[in-house]
Chain A
Amino acid sequence: MKTSSPSPHRLAVALGLALGLAAPAWAQHEGHAAEPAKVDRSAADHSSMDHSKMDHSSEDHSKMDHSSMDHSSTDHSSMDHSKMDHAGMDHAQHAAPAADGKVDHAAMGHGHASADAAPREPIPPVTPADLAAAFPAIDHHAMQHAPAVNHKVTFNRLEAWDGDHGTGQAWEGIAWIGTDTDRVWLRSEGEREGGHTESADLEVLYGRSVSPWWDVVAGVRHDFKPGDARSWAAFGVQGMAPYRFEVSATAYVGESGQVAANVEAEYTLRITNRLILQPLVEAEFSAKDEPGHGTGSGLNTVEAGLRLRYEVTRRFAPYVGVVHERSFGDTADYRRAEGERSRDTRVVAGVRLWF
């Protein structure tokens, strides 16, 4: 049984290797919206508009309500009267020869020209040269983008203890690689006591964001220990609950038909911006009694930890903590039969890091 025990170091290497292997899958270039320019001439082509043919005579300006015009706010000082062509204005007939662009109602400060009116600054007609300059043949890969695929490896816990019942080490790591919404997750957790690996597992999960705060995950989990190595199918959710609790809940279906579950919640309590208390609770359940693996049915274990870390940098934070683990029901009995304790409290010291 000891021969297959992977050391934490080897697991970390495995984690890294798996990350490296997963990378190319996402490295494929994401397609751009790069279809050729469509020229839509259906809309008004002002360039070819012959304003001289505009007939304003049919417009009924008699319905214009000049009483509602607020001249008080008009800044006449900025009006350029020199451009007003009063000669051509026939107010009696309300036929405004505005289309030459020199005179329109907006320019007089009497209100706004409608969207159909001619702009004060004429729109220059489009020449073929303009078109060519505007839509040159372009290699759409010329625009480089920041990577859409990113990754992060976190060792949430890398710790050791030296207690009344011997020494031990434990790790918990989580890594992701992928886009903002689709990621491969690696999770690993394990414990060594007195030089023996008591438990070690590695999960490889595909996760997809289903809401801003929650991912659903599905994949496989491999237990190297306890007992004989075995694999599970895993399904779960993980994310951030209101009040910023980080939560994950995963159900496992084993080869033997065993069904198990793991629920974990953790919180970040800032005493200062560098001194951070991290409460963590983890519970494990099994559907069936499995003496060979030391698990009874129902609630197996609950582990509660309180770790106080100091973030020397964001990426490197040593911590001390206290962990209490309790087993229940048959699980507790199996542990006692092995000479272990059903309740255990230990003081741990370790480091949290990410890269």
Chain B
Amino acid sequence: MKHDDSTRGGVGAFKPSRRQFVTGLATGGLALGLGLVRMPASAGVPARRGAVLLTGTEFDLSIGASPVNFTGRTRPAVTVNGTLPAPTLRWREGDTVTVRVANRLRDASSIHWHGILLPSNMDGVPGLSFNGIAPGETFQYRFELKQSGTYWYHSHSMFQEQAGLYGALIVDPREPPPYAFDREHVVLLSDWTDLDPAALFRRMKKMPEHDNYYQRTLVDFVRDARRDGLAETLEDRGMWGRMRMTPTDISDINAHTYTYLLNGTAPAGNWTGLFRPGEKVLLRFINGSAMTYFDVRIPGLKMTVVAADGQYIHPVSVDEFRIAVAETFDVIVEPAGQDAFTIFAQDMGRTGHARGTLAVRDGLEAPVPARDPRPLLTMSDMGHDMGGHGAHKGMEGGCGAAMMEGGCGASMGHGAHGAAEKAPKHPAGEAGNPLVDMQSSATEPRLDDPGIGLRGNGRKVLTYGDMRSLFDDPDGREPGRTVELHLTGHMEKFAWSFDGIPFAGAEPLRLNYGERMRIVLVNDTMMQHPIHLHGVWSDLENADGEFQLRKHTIDMPPGTRRSYRVRADALGRWAYHCHLLYHMEAGMMREVRIEA
């Protein structure tokens, strides 16, 4: 097994673009070629593109500010050892690693090792696991690696992750993996903004729909009325109008703000990973975005998914997968018959894409597919099924599906007809809560649903239902208790929470050391949320409540109810949050406290 890794960078042909902002600069990224940034001597092998690779058991990382240029404007980024993305760290299962992290910023900083099992005081969450790393200080992380696989690391301080502080983390297994490959590349996807991330947060608070330039218009109305009839179109618009929501709210922030990066390279830069025809190539996909879900495919290649969130799964062959923020998927491809293949990662809202190339040599390109049509959310997507009721009877009157308005609130679920068993009980914190604008009335796990925008697209799309851990439930116990939490929010105010209670006002969720418990999540919002629990695994259950898939981040599409088992074998105070950075900062976070 060769560690060819992402230090290889191809010099992409520069193709001037009408929307340079979206496609970025070919020569963008860290202005290394311009000599603006000098690599520290300890930083390993500098790459023209992609991440620097660092291996061993002792590491010195330096968090600092560096100028970058992805869009034609030079902007400040938060970097590690002067690079964006941060260096790829390559560790070995069973080793004890020491990482000294120096903070050269003017603000406090931190590094969280996403998905790594470690003592709480090494987890890197300021205020829960440690005090953060003050400006000018160095913090020493030291822990033993109890696992292997593909992970990542990022800042857990304010908006530094958005500003560039993220990198790949690979833990090589002690035992050979249950699959063979000849070569590997890290494919780290992320979203870059020229805006100050704090200003972007303030903008979200002022106008959450800022980037939604896809709202339905009078023009659309005329088109739909001709196609579907006036009555039906009016009814459809009325339904959304009564809820005061819009079916084009797929993502909060899209390519109107972001330039999507693949290994720190904008689409025009065309990051290139090399292969020789006939080789099996392991691609370690990591979504290190702040806010962006990607739908990834490599036209012309089947992808065999062999690991999810660093953990082996029964291999499953797909054409495409959706990767939630913070998830990782390891896939094996066998490129042959062409000299170049495009890695195409369009955002879930179909506003932009990240792109790279697998090629036999640098400088090659394959066609870049057009983005898929933009999807519209349906009432069914949001868990507002009408049960067996057929027509839209239940929507009549001023009382929409689960609008939070006096008189027709929680109990007025449409599930009352025929889908009563799906109708969730809503927590008290949601009742009469001005920051909860919606409740789902008919939720299901929907593990076999490829998700909005991916259904029936003619491609085999990975679903959670397709993935099973290669191992049996490592704990084996039935959960001793169940805690149900609802994901809640208010679109217009960009307020997010669990059970209607934002982090600032929430009590910790207390777990007893050693217990096996079950968390049931219900998504009461129209947005999709990747939920990450620090410190312990999230063992996703199948629809029958049995162990299915070990993960660190559970994706929660709107209208879903999903359950997972937690083995509380790590003492301490752990962060539990939506991994959409701005949702977390807006309150969708809890402390989970595992006590002896």
Q: Of all chain A residues, which has the CB nearest B207? A: A314
In the complex, the answer to whether B477 meets A117 with C-beta atoms within 8 Å is yes
Which listed segment binds B: A15-23, A37-45, A198-206?
A37-45
Shortest distance from the beta carbon of A108 to any chain B beta carbon, whole Å: 10
User: B201 contacts the other chain (Cβ, under 8 Å)?
Assistant: yes
Given A120-B475, A152-B206, A212-B434: A126 in contact with B513 (beta carbons within 8 A): yes
Q: How large is the interface on B (under 10, 10 to 19, 20 to 34, 35 or more residues)?
A: 35 or more
Which chain A residues border B403 with CB–CB below 8 Å?
Answer: 242
Q: Which of A39, A211, A269 has the most CB of B within 10 A?
A: A211
In the complex, the answer to whether A314 meets B435 with C-beta atoms within 8 Å is no
User: B448 contacts the other chain (Cβ, under 8 Å)?
Assistant: no
Shortest distance from the beta carbon of A126 to any chain B beta carbon, whole Å: 5
User: A292 contacts the other chain (Cβ, under 8 Å)?
Assistant: no
**CA of A209 to CA of B490 in the docked complex: distance in angstroms?**
12
- In chain A, positions 127-152 with a C-beta closer than 8 Å to chain B are 130-131, 133-136, 138-148, 150-152
Given A39-B596, A242-B398: A119 in contact with B127 (beta carbons within 8 A): no
Contacting B127 at CB < 8 Å: which of A106, A143, A272? A143
In the complex, the answer to whether B504 meets A148 with C-beta atoms within 8 Å is yes
In the complex, the answer to whether A78 meets B472 with C-beta atoms within 8 Å is yes
Q: Which of A109, A210, A242, A270 has the most CB of B within 10 A?
A: A242
In the complex, the answer to whether A180 meets B512 with C-beta atoms within 8 Å is no
In the complex, the answer to whether A210 meets B434 with C-beta atoms within 8 Å is yes
Shortest distance from the beta carbon of B568 to any chain A beta carbon, whole Å: 9
Shortest distance from the beta carbon of A65 to any chain B beta carbon, whole Å: 17
User: B302 contacts the other chain (Cβ, under 8 Å)?
Assistant: no
Main secondary structure of the interface of B (DSSP, over half): loop
Shortest distance from the beta carbon of A73 to any chain B beta carbon, whole Å: 10
Contacting A133 at CB < 8 Å: which of B213, B506, B572? B572
**CA of A112 to CA of B474 in the docked complex: distance in angstroms?**
12
Q: Of all chain B residues, which has the CB nearest A241? A: B244
In the complex, the answer to whether B435 meets A181 with C-beta atoms within 8 Å is yes
User: B95 contacts the other chain (Cβ, under 8 Å)?
Assistant: no
**CA of A116 to CA of B157 in the docked complex: distance in angstroms?**
39
Given A117-B476, A148-B504: A131 in contact with B571 (beta carbons within 8 A): yes
Which chain B residues border A147 with CB–CB below 8 Å?
Answer: 201-202
Which chain B residues border A121 with CB–CB below 8 Å?
Answer: 474-475, 567
In the complex, the answer to whether B476 meets A120 with C-beta atoms within 8 Å is yes
User: A32 contacts the other chain (Cβ, under 8 Å)?
Assistant: yes
Shortest distance from the beta carbon of A107 to any chain B beta carbon, whole Å: 6
Which chain A residues border B472 with CB–CB below 8 Å?
Answer: 78, 109, 120
In the complex, the answer to whether A38 meets B595 with C-beta atoms within 8 Å is yes
Q: A136-B129, A140-B127, A212-B490 are in contact. List 11 more A-B contacts (CB 8 A).
A: A39-B595, A112-B546, A119-B516, A121-B474, A121-B567, A134-B571, A152-B206, A180-B495, A211-B434, A212-B435, A273-B213
A-B contact pairs, 19 of them (CB 8 A): A33-B506, A44-B512, A106-B473, A107-B476, A115-B477, A118-B477, A126-B513, A130-B571, A136-B121, A136-B129, A140-B127, A146-B201, A147-B202, A180-B495, A212-B435, A240-B244, A242-B241, A244-B241, A244-B244
- Interface residues, chain A, with chain B CB atoms under 8 Å away: 30-33, 37-41, 43-47, 78, 104, 106-107, 109, 112-121, 123-124, 126, 130-131, 133-136, 138-148, 150-152, 180-181, 209-213, 240, 242-244, 269-274, 314, 354
User: Which 6 pairs from chain A and chain B are nearest by CB?
Assistant: A143-B127, A115-B480, A134-B572, A134-B571, A209-B434, A46-B514
